Amino acid sequence: MTTVPTVAVDDLPAGAAVLDVRENDEWTAGHAPDARHVPMSQLTGRMADVPDGDPLYVICRSGGRSAQVVAYLNQQGHTSVNVEGGMQAWAARGRAVVADGGGTPEIV
């Protein structure tokens, strides 16, 4: 297994470019306010939608899918880092979470 660069939620720099690779229902339920959304299942067809970031911080629910995306992006020449613990860790550390449609945000 390839080791990917990882960062803890508390060590994310202010204004970091964040890519959320969870599926649409997960994103709608709750996501980081400034994140860009490209589901992992659509990534290869939507590379133009991947935000610029040096590095780009990639997040999912718990860190597994985002680690796979980081490995792929880095093979493609991007500089990306996996957010350890994903949105579960993000929310647990008290970071802002918003839901589409104004509902109560949750991590599903």
- Which tokens sit at 85? 């613990």
Peptide linkage before 5 cis (omega within 30 of 0): no
Beta carbons of 22 and 88 less than 8 angstroms apart? no
Active site residues: 60
| 36-37 and 6-7 beta bridge pairing | unpaired
Closest CA to 107 of 94, 92, 90, 88: 88
**Structure tokens that stand for 16 in this block:** 């970091």
Q: Quick one: DSSP state of residue 31?
A: B
